Amino acid sequence: MSTLPSQLRVPDLQDQQRHFKRAFSLLEQAIARRAFPGAVLAVTSRGELRAHAAFGRQTFETGSPAVTAETPYDLASLTKPIATTAMAMLLYQRHQLDLEMPVATLVPEFGGGDQRAQPVTVGMLLAHSSGLPGYARLYEKASSAADLLRSALGLRLVAEPGTAVEYSDIGFIVLGELLHRISGQTLDSFCRHEIFWHLGMSATTFAPPSAARHLVPPTEHNEPFRKRRIQGEVHDTNAFALGGVAGHAGLFAPVADVVRFALCMLQGGTPIFKPATIALFTARASKPRGSTRTLGWDTPSLPSQSGRYFSQSSFGHLGYTGTSLWIDPLRQVSITLLTNRTWPDNTNELIKEVRPAVHDAIMEALEQS
């Protein structure tokens, strides 16, 4: 179990309900509308924990375990900023990673012989402007994790590098392997020892142990590839076929650990990042024109899942399973929302209505308090 940072006092639940009445009500209504069966919310403002509350159950089934503030969730694509991008940030600080370095320099098989792939840089992978496709069902033909990785590294581009933004899981699979080759450590090992340990994120892990899987809300039922209830195993099928450790997905954590990471980003990077590194990686990319991406994060756009009130200096990320983290350094605010909106299948998209409404209600409440 991961507790909240020691310097943060958990506010009284009645105080939370009073200050964030509308936001809490929206989450309860969302559960009643079956947007998701359960959720955990955490809000920090100016270094103070303002909300830390749980709602609903693991599933819609009668008798399903109640979600608690300590419930771990499949973070899905929050893996990209919290693990893969964070690893890139540390290697950059240590002068081991050059953002302008062509990917093919370290990964010669990148691009499958497509000469257009030669100019693709590490920075392009982080900013989703590499020209790689967003997604491919690589798991359908892969006979092993190594086979799937070879397929990902060999995919041909679908656009000229640097000309368009295509949010790409494939790009982060490639990035994870590149970082592995630079550091000599696997993504999970590096993040555990160099990031999570230093931030006290003791409950954050790739591939939870079998004995703890029942604590994680399930994300899907009767998924065609696995033909079983997916609980405590990564929802993303390419990440699953890679053994649960991938640059684009695979991380599990309770909200307290996500709060720890958010506070690190808000407080100048202490104790692992330099302020200049955070500034570089969270600044909106100038190319391609119109991009909302940074090096590993997204920024508010219109309309945005962050809602209407996050400043233009804000950055955040979503996870396919129904998770999100948004950080506003100007207002010194972070909002973490963890759900399993994919239960019992991934067709339900009500969260796209719920999430910005909840963010707006929280920001309005903070302005009034």
Mean pLDDT by 10 residues, the chain (369 residues): 62 92 98 98 96 97 96 98 98 98 96 93 98 96 96 96 97 98 98 97 95 97 87 97 98 97 97 98 93 97 94 97 98 98 94 98 95
CA-to-CA distance for 222 and 219, rounded, in angstroms? 10
Contact criterion met (CB below 8 Å) for 337 and 358:
yes
pTM attached to this predicted model: 0.97
Check the CA dihedral 228-345-56-24 and report its sign. Answer: positive
Output the pLDDT for position 2: 52
| Phi, psi of 150, deg, nearest 5 | -60, -40
Output the pLDDT for position 4: 61
Residues in the chain, how many? 369
Q: Taking the CA of residue 156 as centre, how many other CA atoms within 13 Å lie in the half-sphere pointing to its CB?
A: 5
Query: Which tokens in the block code for residue 29?
Result: 């209504």
Contacts of 61 (CB under 8 A, 6+ apart): none
Give the distance, in angstroms, between the CA of residue 169 and the centroid of all CA atoms in the same chain.
Answer: 12
CA-to-CA distance for 168 and 89, rounded, in angstroms? 19
Output the pLDDT for position 3: 56
Q: Kind and range of the H or E element at 328?
A: strand 323-328
